[in-house]
Amino acid sequence: MLRRRALLALLASSALANTAQGGAPLQIVATIGQIADLASRLAGERAVVRALMGEGVDPHTYRQTRADVLTLRRADLVLAVGLWLEAQLVDLLTALATEKPVLLLAERLPPERLLAHPDFPGKFDPHVWMDVALWSELVPILEVELARLDPADAAGYRERARAYRAELAALERYVRRVLATVPPERRVLVTAHDAFGYFGRAYGFEVHGIQGLSTESEAGLAEIERLVRLIVERRIGAVFVESSVAERNVRALVEGAAARGHEVRIGGQLFSDAMDAPGTYEGTYVGMIDHNVTVIARALGGEAPPRGMNGRLATVG
Ligand SMILES: [Zn+2]
Domain positions in the chain are: 2-174, 181-299
Q: How many angstroms does the Cα of residue 195 sit away from the middle of ligand 1?
A: 5
pLDDT given for residue 281 in this prediction = 97
> pLDDT band at residue 3, thresholds of 50, 70 and 90?
very low
Q: How many angstroms does the Cα of residue 106 sit away from the middle of ligand 1?
A: 14
Contact 51, 30 (CB under 8 A): yes
pTM here is 0.92
Q: How many angstroms does the Cα of residue 266 sit away from the middle of ligand 1?
A: 19
pLDDT given for residue 221 in this prediction = 87
Q: How many angstroms does the Cα of residue 26 sit away from the middle of ligand 1?
A: 29
pLDDT given for residue 43 in this prediction = 98
φ, ψ of residue 44 to 5 degrees: the values are 55, -130
Does residue 181 register a pLDDT over 60?
A: yes
> pLDDT band at residue 219, thresholds of 50, 70 and 90?
confident
Does residue 28 register a pLDDT over 60?
A: yes
Q: How many angstroms does the Cα of residue 271 sit away from the middle of ligand 1?
A: 10
Give the residue with greater pLDDT, 221 vs 73. Answer: 73
pLDDT given for residue 315 in this prediction = 62
User: Distance of CA 205 to CAs 21, 34, 178, 183, 260, Å?
Assistant: 49, 22, 13, 11, 25
Q: How many angstroms does the Cα of residue 274 sit away from the middle of ligand 1?
A: 9
Does residue 202 register a pLDDT over 60?
A: yes
pLDDT given for residue 194 in this prediction = 95
Q: How many angstroms does the Cα of residue 126 sit away from the middle of ligand 1?
A: 8
Q: Name the class of domain 2-174.
A: alpha beta
CATH topology agreement for domains 2-174 and 181-299: yes
Strand partners, 238: 265
Mean pLDDT of 174-191: 98
Topology, domain 181-299: Rossmann fold (3.40.50)
Task: Name the least confident of 15-24, 108-117, 220-229, 258-267.
Answer: 15-24
Does residue 45 register a pLDDT over 50?
A: yes
Exposure string over 170-209, b if 16+ CB within 10 A, otherwise e = ebbebbeebbeebeeebbbbbbbbbbbbbbbebbebebbb
Q: How far apart are CA 107 and CA 77, in angstroms?
A: 16
Q: List, for residues 5-26, the tens digit of each pLDDT value.
A: 444 444 444 444 444 445 789 9
Mean pLDDT of 174-198: 97
Does residue 1 register a pLDDT over 50?
A: no
Q: List, for residues 287-316, the tens digit of each pLDDT value.
A: 999 999 999 999 999 999 999 999 999 865
Q: How many angstroms does the Cα of residue 14 sit away from the middle of ligand 1?
A: 36
Q: How many angstroms does the Cα of residue 226 sit away from the middle of ligand 1?
A: 21
Mean pLDDT of 271-297: 97
pLDDT given for residue 216 in this prediction = 84
Q: How many angstroms does the Cα of residue 100 sit away from the middle of ligand 1?
A: 27
Our CA angle for 197, 142, 313, nearest 5°, is 55
pLDDT given for residue 52 in this prediction = 98
Contact 8, 36 (CB under 8 A): no
